[in-house]
Amino acid sequence: MKVAVVKELFPGERRVALVPAAVGPLVKGGHEVLVETAAGEAAGFSDEAFAEAGARIVSRDEAFAADCVLTVRTAGAAGDAWDADQTRIRPGVILIGTCDPLTAAGACREAADRGATLFSLELVPRITRAQSMDVLSSQANIAGYRAVLEAANHLPRILPMMTTAAGTVTPAKVLVLGAGVAGLQAIATAKRLGAQVSAYDVRPAVKEQVQSLGAKFVELALDTGSGEAAGGYARAMGEEFYARQRELLGRVVAEQDVVICTALIPGQRSPLLVTRDAVARMRPGSVIVDLAAERGGNCEATVAGQTLLVDGVTVLGPTNLPAAVPFHTSQLYARNITTFLTHLLKLGLPEVNLDDEICRDTLVARGGHLVHPKVRERAGLAPLESLATTPDRTT
């Protein structure tokens, strides 16, 4: 199989889907690896390094002519770059990458209309044998780490307690909202830097994980039930619950020097946790880093992609922190995507094995149709089994 890697054209995206170290195993497996010119340059990987590893450097058109194209961003996740790239897609090409399927189903439908077989890495199931393919976790880990560094860089005080001849400096207070992968890494990083850390999550089950990292688990007088949906994600709650949660969290937020927001619900707007009023009650100089900015933000004052000063509080709305450290995030992503590709190849790719949970759950488009039930629903399409009774072009 010819496997190609293309250069990412999304603004600010510096990662690359494959690194030179990942080329060798694919070549040894009998596959030809094509890499678009300068695909890894922004991440610190030269064309020469790819060539020495056994890849062939090609143009973008040649890369899209391969049997399988590996990307960091494709379809809806590629933004305006998708408009040009979709014209390069030919029937039968296999596209693997992040494609924002639950919020950009229209772009996925365009890939289907052009006959592509599209796999979305955001949809990798959270099961034990798929952990090494989980790009959301590998990238969120780095985002949580980086969020704390961003906060420390903007905070007009240091994080650790420090005793000097001039006196003792008290530690900064850091609150992490959401104890998923990004949140837990943010907790660990803030603790390593010496901050006094607390964390809140709607899922009571994560209390032990938070405490194991040395942080205090914030408990609010709320009935959360399990608070957990399939795959270990937080489940969406009712507006009455969120209103009460915002009220109670406001009191906790007001006491913090730093708030790191990481709460996300797959395919939905991020829950609003920190109100504008809560921001106003924080001490001047405090910092909020909202990792949910791209999905609407956990903080009411957040503007995606901007850093604002709101009532003396610095509010950061980063939309792609993993791209800020592309050397290592590309290494992790490459490990995820090659493990995923190798798994599909063992199942007989380009044939698609729908008996396999990983293959079935990540397959978005095939044979001219959107085939993933949730993506079809977001695209306003009938269930696939009813296609025989509906007019053509309902796919």
pLDDT in tens, 194-230: 999 999 998 888 999 999 999 999 999 887 665 555 5
Question: What local confidence, expressed as pLDDT, does residue 241 receive?
Answer: 84
Window from 125-129, 164-168, 248-252 with minimum mean pLDDT: 164-168
Q: Residues 85, 134, 257, 361: which is the catalytic one?
A: 134
User: Contact, 94 vs 117, CB < 8 A?
Assistant: yes
Q: Which of the listed residues 319, 343, 367 is the one where a domain comes to its end? A: 319
Structural tokens at position 372: 């993933």
Exactly one of 56, 113, 233, 244 is catalytic; name it: 233
pLDDT attached to residue 389: 39
**Based on the domain organization, do 167 and 302 belong to the same domain?**
yes
Residues 273 and 367 in one domain: no
At residue 395, the pLDDT reads 45
pLDDT, mean of residues 30-54: 98
Please check whether residues 240 and 339 belong to one and the same domain: no
Number of domains in the chain: 2
Catalytic hit among 60, 88, 126, 244: 126
- Residue 197 and residue 68 in one domain: no
In 3D space, the residue among 153, 142, 14 whose CA is nearest the CA of residue 73 turns out to be: 14
Assigned domain for 394 exists: no
The string of DSSP letters for 211-223 reads HHTTPEEP--S--
What is the per-residue pLDDT across 221-279, written as a single tens digit (0 to 9) for each? 887 665 555 555 565 677 788 888 999 999 999 999 999 999 988 878 899 999 999 99
**Distances 336 to 1, 232, 306, 321 between C-alpha atoms, Å:** 19, 19, 30, 18
- Catalytic site includes residue 200: no
User: How do residues 8-41 score in pLDDT, each as one tens digit?
Assistant: 999 999 999 999 999 999 999 999 999 999 999 9
pLDDT at residue 287 above 90? yes
Report the mean per-residue pLDDT for the chain: 93
pTM of this prediction? 0.91
Nearest one of 183, 393, 152 to 291, comparing CA atoms: 183
Residue 176 structural domain: 143-319
Q: Is-catalytic flag, 100?
A: no
**The domain boundary residue, chosen from 319, 339, 362:** 319
- Residue 138 lies inside a defined structural domain of this protein: no
> Do 365 and 257 belong to one domain?
no
CATH assignment of the domain containing 202: 3.40.50.720
Q: Is 131 a catalytic residue?
A: yes
96 belongs to a structural domain? yes
Share of the chain above pLDDT 70, in %: 94
Residue 164 and residue 230 in one domain: yes
Neighbours of 80 (CB within 10 A): 9
Last residue of a domain, one of 286, 303, 319: 319
Q: Identify the pLDDT of residue 226.
A: 54
Pairwise CA distance, residues 234 & 179, whole Å: 10
Residues in a beta bridge with 9: none
Q: What is the DSSP letter of 123?
A: G
pLDDT tens per residue across span 330-364: 999 999 999 999 999 999 999 999 999 999 999 99
Per the omega criterion (within 30 degrees of 0), is the bond before 350 cis? yes
Q: Are residues 122 and 24 in the same domain?
A: yes
Spatial distance between the Cα atoms of 297 and 292, rounded to a whole number of angstroms: 5
Of the candidates 100, 88, 64, 97, the residue with the CA atom closest to the CA atom of residue 330: 97
Residues 6+ apart with CB under 8 A from 357: 125, 127
Specify whether the CB–CB gap between 210 and 199 falls below 8 A: yes
| Residues 384/366, Cβ–Cβ less than 8 Å | no
Q: Could you tell me how far CA 258 lies from the centroid of its own chain?
A: 22
Same domain, 82 and 128: yes
Res. 281: pLDDT tops 80? yes
* % of residues, the chain, pLDDT over 90: 86
What are the residue ranges of helices labelled H in 291-325?
Answer: none
Q: Whose structure tokens read 């399988």?
A: 68
Asked whether the predicted pLDDT for residue 387 surpasses 50, the reply is no
**Active-site residue among 59, 90, 129, 131?**
131
> 357 and 311 in one domain?
no
Q: Which of 137, 139, 185, 209 is catalytic?
A: 137
Domain match, 332 and 215 both = no
What pLDDT does residue 141 have? 97
Asked if the model's pLDDT at residue 2 lies above 70, the reply is yes
Give residues with Cβ within 8 angstroms of 304, minimum separation 6: 293, 294, 297, 317, 319
Please report the pLDDT score of residue 384 as a whole number: 82
Most confident of the following: 138-152, 224-238, 372-386: 138-152
Q: Look at the alpha carbons of 9, 11, 16, 17 in this order and tell me if their dihedral is positive or negative.
A: negative
Is 111 among the domain residues?
yes
- Given a cut of 90, whether residue 299 has pLDDT beyond it is yes
Residues 311 and 385 in one domain: no
